[in-house]
Amino acid sequence: MAIDAADLPLLFGEAKRCPFAGSVLTLGRQDVTVTPAALRRVAGQCGFDLPRPLPTDLPPDERLDDGTLLRALGFDEVDSMDVSDYEGATVIHDLNAPAPPEGLEGRYDLVFDRGTAEHVFHLPNLLSTVVRLA
For residue 29, give every residue at least 6 positions away whose Cβ sits within 8 Å of its Cβ, in sequence order, or none: 66, 80, 82, 87, 88, 89
Mean pLDDT of the chain: 95
Instruction: Convert the pLDDT of each residue in 1-43 to its tens digit.
Output: 789 999 999 999 999 999 999 999 999 999 999 999 999 999 9
pLDDT bucket at 61, cuts 50 / 70 / 90? confident
- Nearest residue to 117 via CA among 28, 3, 11: 28
